[in-house]
Amino acid sequence: MIRNVAAVVGEQAAAFELGVACQVFGLDRAGDDLPVYDFAVCAPSPGAVRSTSGFSLQVDHGLERLAAADLITIPAWPQLDQAGPPQLLEALRTAVARGSKVLSVCTGAFLLAEAGLLDGRRAATHWQFTDLLAARYPKVRVDREVLYVEDGPILTSAGAAAGIDACLHVVRREHGAATANALARRMVVPAHRSGGQAQFIEMPVPEVRTNYELSGLIDWMQAHLDHPMTAESLAARAAMSTRTFARRFKAVTGTTAHRWLLDQRLQLAEELLETTDLPVDAVATRAGFGSADTLRHHFGARRGVGPAAHRRTFRSDGHQGG
């Protein structure tokens, strides 16, 4: 269980990305019945640290703070033209070896790659830097499109807002969908964007009619997840050919209709398992999977555990359901 979180900055701090870590892990939201973490910002050289936005912040903790952290966040690393501090690279390797998880945002992946922690692993970074990351660290399996990717104890994410998605993913893993959704509402951000969603979408301004139709269709899909849906039926509802619908849906959402539906149905199944006593077969029907076996298959493939195990982990009131 993650209880202790440290954010690491270097000679400069990326203001927005550091703010993301502070928002998710560094605020006391006990009054909202949300998790509270022992959070601190640390640096190889504590003291005044200049931000990339022109102001300075006071960092009180050195790298010894990493020894207690269950999760270490690297909220971007602006010093790409400099070697990482050797003592920081060693501290990161030591932390992972003892079982700590690490989360990077944007160019924070470069520091992890320099430490050798991404060798042989899939990794994400901001789309502007994917080619540089791949060229500089050929042992890293750079995924150029995704918002975030988790490979073992390392979670890397793309630029800025993708860091919010990655942090909420950690909260969802640790505390369940209901808690992550409540935190997202508190932060006024989308509750869940799949890590596999494209981070960069070339989308010219659409015709008003097309944009309206897809917005209305997506709202309808969200409200009718228990209904059977095929590419053909969705295209017909949108008054498009199947090929045109597939192209426009991906242009608007960054993913395919099939994957979007699967993500939404899994999220609904999580919420139902955590907040109701519905038997697993009823959850499967309500979430649009049709049968408990189908739900178990997709839930296990995506979450790593079955629906019943997820319920046992995240139900807080002692009720287990069927």
What is the tens place of the pLDDT at every residue in 63-84? 999 999 999 999 999 999 999 9
Share the mean pLDDT of the chain. Answer: 89
What is the tens place of the pLDDT at every residue in 106-123? 999 999 999 999 999 999
The residues, any chain, with a CB within 8 Å of residue 278's CB and separated by 6 or more, are: 272, 286, 321, 322
320 or 218: which carries more pLDDT confidence?
218
**% of the chain with per-residue pLDDT over 70:** 91
Which of the four pLDDT bands, split at 50, 70 and 90, describes residue 312?
A: confident
Q: pTM of this prediction?
A: 0.75
Which of the four pLDDT bands, split at 50, 70 and 90, describes residue 320?
A: very low
Residue 291, pLDDT > 80, answer yes
For tokens 């640390």, the residue is 42
Among this protein's residues, is 167 annotated catalytic? no
Q: What is residue 302's predicted lDDT score, i.e. its pLDDT?
A: 80
Which of the four pLDDT bands, split at 50, 70 and 90, describes residue 313?
A: confident
Residue 319, pLDDT > 50, answer no
Max Cα distance, the chain (Å): 61
Considering the domain delimited by 208-254, tell me its CATH architecture.
Orthogonal Bundle (1.10)
Domain locations in the chain as residue ranges:
4-187, 208-254, 259-314
Fold match between domain 4-187 and domain 208-254: no
Q: Do 104 and 126 contact (CB within 8 A), yes or no?
A: no
Q: What is residue 321's predicted lDDT score, i.e. its pLDDT?
A: 39
Among 5-19, 67-81, 174-188, 224-238, the minimum mean pLDDT is found in 174-188
For tokens 């901001």, the residue is 126
Sign of the four-CA dihedral 64, 151, 109, 21? negative
Active-site annotation holder among 22, 42, 106, 167: 106
Q: State the helix-helix crossing angle for 307-314 and 292-303, rounded to 10 degrees.
A: 60
Q: What is residue 252's predicted lDDT score, i.e. its pLDDT?
A: 84
What is the tens place of the pLDDT at every residue in 179-218? 988 998 899 887 666 555 544 433 333 333 444 568 889 8
Residue 85, pLDDT > 90, answer yes
Helix (H, G, I), strand (E, B) or coil at 48: strand
> Can you identify the CATH homologous superfamily of domain 4-187?
Class I glutamine amidotransferase (GATase) domain (3.40.50.880)
Assigned CATH topology for domain 259-314: Arc Repressor Mutant, subunit A (1.10.10)
Q: What's the rounded Cα separation, in Å, for the pair 283 and 81? A: 51
Among 125-129, 214-218, 227-231, the minimum mean pLDDT is found in 214-218
What is the tens place of the pLDDT at every residue in 238-276? 999 999 999 999 888 878 999 999 989 998 998 899 889
Q: What is residue 207's predicted lDDT score, i.e. its pLDDT?
A: 39
